[in-house]
Structures are given as structure tokens and as C-alpha cells.
Amino acid sequence: MIQEKRLLNEFFELLQMYTPTLGEREIADVLTKRLEELGFTVVEDDGGTKLGGTAGNLVATRKGTIPEAPMIMLTAHMDNVQPCKGVKPQLKDGLITSDGTTVLGADDKVGIATILEALRTIDEQKIPHGDLQIVFNIAEEGGVNGSRVMNSSLLKAQYGFVFDTINSPGRIVRKAPGKNRIEARIIGKSAHAGNSPEKGISAIVVAANIITKLPQGRIDEETTANIGIIHGGRETNVVPEEAQIVMETRSRDKEKLTELTDNAVRTFELVAREMGATAEVTVIKNYSPFKLAEDHATVQLAKRACENLEFPVNITEGGGGSDACFFNAYGVPSVVLGVGIRNPHSKEEYIPEKDLYDTARLAVELIKEAAKLKA
């Protein structure tokens, strides 16, 4: 059904484009042209301007051949983590890898390539379908910022499918955590460390005491906390007046996320005050959790598509952020689909060749299965 050679060639072409976060201009121009050639009306929003990047989010829409069928949305993100310059993809023994000096960039160019191949396939084979919406986001890496700032009024779909998670097609993530970033500035009192250390209040010592009282690691099956950054001080002969701690809290339960974050903030402030210091704490809400019931229509549509292709179905929960967090918040019920990525965000990233082709087949099947529904 799909043309494997064409898909592989386009995937390799996309992998070799330099697309760091907020540097997506080249690929955005290429994708705009290809979507327009497929009959889509493409709108680029002002997300790039808001974030200081070179391109915005792409939202492409095309009328279907079955007016009564619901509109579905297929999405992937355009950016890669570093190092992603000079990617040299290679196929050996059924695996697609880089040459080991960069990431591969399958996260998430596999999503882009397979969506494009699915669109060509349904046109070439004249497969009936409902209205389609394709969204290619910027700045997913490093905080899911592209979808956070996107023009959500452009989204019209009733079902959303995000092609962007690990493992083979058949994995359906219906639930994922929200994340908060907590930045704390600890302010003590400086003094000469040799002549009068007793006159100072070491912000580093205060920070150390706070850290021993903060929740860390896995709190429960759906909740985690991590202290990621600490720094402070100027010289060894000065009692440090200032230190910084940056941490994150995550949970797939919104109430747990709020409670964990609030407790962390109170710990910063209380321990600092007890030790004669102060803590200036800022909470940045990166994204909210999303949760779809297993019997939700979006989950079941994805499940049927996988079963039609005889893929082993694994309806599960994720531990990382995703554009789906914002799509769900914007009113488009969305799941995240396995696309074959292994070891993302590393130079050991790879994807089985078979998973590349199977992901494109899944995209086609989703379009076909959605066409059977009533809007």
C-alpha cells in the first residue's frame, strides 16, 4: 500500500536537515510546500515570534471526501535535540542509525515522514476519508513550548494523534504527566570566611538543608520530583550570600502535582526562614497532565487501527511531556502513538526499518478507520 522506498528516501532527506529547537525555518518551508502540493491550506502561526525562533507552528487543513466523517488531526514536531547538525543516517541490518557523532533525529522526523507518506497513499489509492488536519509543531524539545504558544483557535479536529513516542506502533499513550519548574533563590548574608564567618549566613548551607527535606525521585507510580540544578558562591574566602536551586515536579494527577509543588515551595521558605535566610521562589507551570479513559473514542479508534494491522496493542501511560498535553487542554482529545524510536536524545538513537513502514501504515489506517465514524 505505502511506497517503502519513497518513504525511506524522504525520511533520510529530512534527517539530514539541521533543525534545532527554534531553528526550524528550513524544514518548515519544505513541509509547507509539500503540504500545499497535497492540496492542504497551510497556516503558519506566530509561535516562532513569541519564542524568538525562525519559524512558527504549521497547521494544515484539507476537506475530505466524506463530509459526515469527523476531522482527525495527525501531528509531529519539527525540532531535534542537539547534537543534530550534520546527521549522516545509515541503514544496516534492518536498523536506521546515525554515524554515532550526532543524534539520529527520528524524534520526531519519523512522525513527519510517515504522515506525509500516508497522505500520498490515500490520494494515490483514492481512499475515502473525512476532513484532515496536519500539525507540525516547533520547539517541542526542552519544554513543549511550541504547542504552548500556538494559535489554538486554528485547531478544529475531533480526534488527535501525536506521532511521537518510543517503541513500535501499537503503543498508545492515553495519559501523561504535567510538569512544574520551581526556581528558588536563597539569600543569606556574606562575611569574611576567615576573619568573621560567624557573622555570615551561608546560602549554600541553607540550600543543602533545604535539599535534604525536599521530595526527590519517584513519589508514587504517577508522581516524581527532581532537583536538577544547584549553584552559588563566589570565592572560598567569602561566606556565600546567594545560591540557586532549580527543580521540577511531575504527576499524571493534577491535584497531586499541585500538592507536591506547593509543599516544595513551603519547604524552601520555611527552612530558609528557620536558618535566618530568605527564599525567593518562582513556579513556572510548563504544562498540565492529560488523561483519557481507556474507552474514550480517540483511544478506541487508535486501538482498532492497530488491531486491523495486527499490531500488538499496548494502551499505557507516559512519563514525559508531549504536545498532546496542550492539544488536550485546547479541546482536541489526543493520544501519543509509538513510532519506533529507540534511545531518543542520545547518539545511540535508532529506529527499526520495519517500524518506519508500519508507522506509515498506521497513519493510513487511522484515516480509514475515522472515515467510518459520524461527526
Q: Measured between alpha carbons, how far is 39 from 3 in angstroms, rounded to an integer? A: 20
Contact 87, 16 (CB under 8 A): yes
User: Of 287, 320, 342, which residue sits at a domain end?
Assistant: 287
Contact 146, 321 (CB under 8 A): no
Same domain, 110 and 211: no
For 157, half-sphere exposure in the C-beta direction (CA atoms, 13 angstrom radius) is: 29
Confidence at residue 19, expressed as pLDDT on a 0 to 100 scale: 98
Q: Which residues contact 199 (CB under 8 A, 6 or more apart)?
A: 189, 191, 239
Catalytic site positions? 79, 140
Confidence at residue 142, expressed as pLDDT on a 0 to 100 scale: 84
**CATH code for position 22:** 3.40.630.10
- Strands 90-92 and 95-97 come out as antiparallel
Same domain, 239 and 267: yes
Same domain, 192 and 143: no
Establish whether the linkage from the previous residue to 83 is cis, with ω within 30° of 0.
yes
Same domain, 193 and 47: no
Contact 91, 337 (CB under 8 A): no
Residue 39 lies in a domain: yes
Confidence at residue 321, expressed as pLDDT on a 0 to 100 scale: 85
Q: How far is CA 135 from CA 71, 142, 147, 162, 202, in A?
A: 13, 19, 10, 9, 50
Same domain, 163 and 256: no
Domain count, the chain: 2
Same domain, 8 and 135: yes
Same domain, 150 and 209: no
Residue 375 lies in a domain: no
Contact 13, 88 (CB under 8 A): no
**Residue 267 corresponds to which cell in the numbers above?**
519547604
Element (H, E) at 363: helix 353-370
Going 122 to 123 to 125 to 127, the CA torsion angle's sign is positive
pLDDT along the chain (375 residues), means of 10: 97 98 98 98 98 98 97 98 98 98 98 98 97 98 94 98 97 96 98 96 98 96 96 96 97 95 98 98 94 97 98 93 94 98 97 98 98 89
User: Of 236, 263, 287, which residue sits at a domain end?
Assistant: 287
Establish whether the linkage from the previous residue to 108 is cis, with ω within 30° of 0.
yes
User: Of 257, 287, 317, which residue sits at a domain end?
Assistant: 287
Same domain, 120 and 141: yes
| Rg, Å, the chain Cα set | 24
**Residue among 142, 178, 145 nearest 250 (CA):** 178
Element (H, E) at 176: strand 171-176
Same domain, 293 and 277: no
Same domain, 132 and 265: no
Q: Measured between alpha carbons, how far is 253 from 86 in angstroms, rounded to an integer? A: 40
Same domain, 66 and 159: yes
Residue 9 lies in a domain: yes
Domain span holding position 144: 4-176+289-370
Contact 328, 144 (CB under 8 A): no
Same domain, 32 and 160: yes
